[in-house]
Structure 1
Amino acid sequence: MGRFLRAILVGLVGAGIVHVLVLLLIPHLTETDVWARLEARAPFYEVVRIDPASGANMLHLPDPLFEAAACRIDLSEGIVHLQAEGDVPYWSMSIYDRTGQNIFSINDRTSSEGQLDFLVATSAQLTELRNSQAADFGTAVFVETEVQEGIVVVRAFMPDPTFEPTVSRYLAGLDCRLR
């Protein structure tokens, strides 16, 4: 019986130590999420290139044939207009909330005329925009979300190194603007 109690006591002490260590690591791990890393590098609406080769990779880009850029948005300040000029073999855009949950995704195959041109707004902002009819947004696609703060990630396909200048220009020209 003594060995059994000793084993239970050792197990409880070990579990307690592990529990305390996990609690102590939580602040360290949450401070290094994508939101915090982007926040440290750029203010809202500023596009940041995600470069895996430089060690500044904030996002996990599992496919080396994709390059990416990101910007943080805050819809409490107004509608956000996302645009990119030019052509790349393929692009995709995703919007994530602060916690990293994907709330919207689209690519050039399913967008209007294959162009990256989107307005991101809450339902109240879109209702107000439609009622006012003051601004002309051309062929922009309207994306409705109730998330106030988020991250927009645009990925571009680079089939071989000769496409690097084209993809770099495309991502450098990404415009993430408060309207």
Structure 2
Amino acid sequence: MRRIAFLLIAGLILGGIVHVATILALPATATRNAFARIAAITVPNKVALLPQPVPGETMLPYVDPAFATAVCRFDLARGPLKVRMPITAAYGSLTFYKNDGTAFYAINDRAAGRRLVELDLMTAEQRSALELDEDETAADRLIVQSVAPTGLIVMRALAPEPSALPIVRGALSAAECTQQPAN
């Protein structure tokens, strides 16, 4: 009887370890993650306005239909990026992700405090090589240091009412993700 109880407990523990290991390994082994789906329809360092979500058919997980969404798949190998997103009447945000889906920076339009969210995205090496003019201080520019050379920038803008969605999508389509020359 003790032997059966021991084998049962050992089996449960081993099954639990295998279960946890599988759950933790799954995101790293997924081949059709959001980055892969976006990469199939976008060009690096260009903004692409995503279609409005349809139930069961979304490019990104957890998309709210009240938001217009645009993405920029960035590649900093040839130099930093200048990212610009116009401010809409309700709310807008930019979130920066690594290829594995980990967010490393986010900003909303209220934090930007202007009519345009404008920032520079660069790697640590590009940041250290950056020389600012005498007239320009570090406080004049918003610089985001990327933790990875490639990833996604997700831009979202809220349409407070369904009738405002075309206007918000039009404003978001003016967003830019422009390659800057390497220093």
TM-score range, shorter chain: 0.7 to 0.9
Compute the displacement of 1:39 (Å).
1.3
> Which residue of the partner structure matches residue 59 of structure 2?
57
TM (norm. structure 2) is: 0.73
> Which residue of the partner structure matches residue 172 of structure 1?
173
Q: State the one-letter code of the partner of 1:31.
A: T
> Which residue of the partner structure matches residue 136 of structure 1?
none
> Which residue of the partner structure matches residue 42 of structure 1?
42
Contact 2:87 2:109 in 1 (8 A): no
Partners of 1:171 and 1:131 in 2: CA distance: 30
Partners of 2:86 and 2:2 in 1: CA distance: 75
Return 5+ residue gaps in structure 1 as ranges: 134-138
SS at match of 2:40: helix
Partners of 1:29 and 1:76 in 2: CA distance: 25
**CA shift in 2, pair 1:168/1:100, >3 Å:** same
TM (norm. structure 1) is: 0.75
Q: State the one-letter code of the partner of 2:104.
A: I
Compute the displacement of 1:26 (Å).
4.6
> Which residue of the partner structure matches residue 92 of structure 1?
93
SS at match of 1:103: strand
* 4+ aligned runs moved over 3 Å, structure 1: 25-29, 85-88
Partners of 2:155 and 2:27 in 1: CA distance: 29
Q: CA RMSD in A?
A: 3.4
More helix by share: 1
> Which residue of the partner structure matches residue 104 of structure 1?
105
**CA shift in 2, pair 1:33/1:65, >3 Å:** same
Q: State the one-letter code of the partner of 1:30.
A: A
**CA shift in 2, pair 1:4/1:162, >3 Å:** same
> Which residue of the partner structure matches residue 4 of structure 1?
4
> Which residue of the partner structure matches residue 137 of structure 2?
none
Contact 1:80 1:176 in 2 (8 A): yes
Compute the displacement of 1:116 (Å).
1.8
Deviation by residue 1:23-53 (Cα, 9 ceiling, x = unmatched): 9x95996112111111122231232315312
Partners of 1:151 and 1:57 in 2: CA distance: 13
> Which residue of the partner structure matches residue 84 of structure 2?
83
Compute the displacement of 1:123 (Å).
3.1
SS at match of 1:53: coil
Return 5+ residue gaps in structure 2 as ranges: 135-139
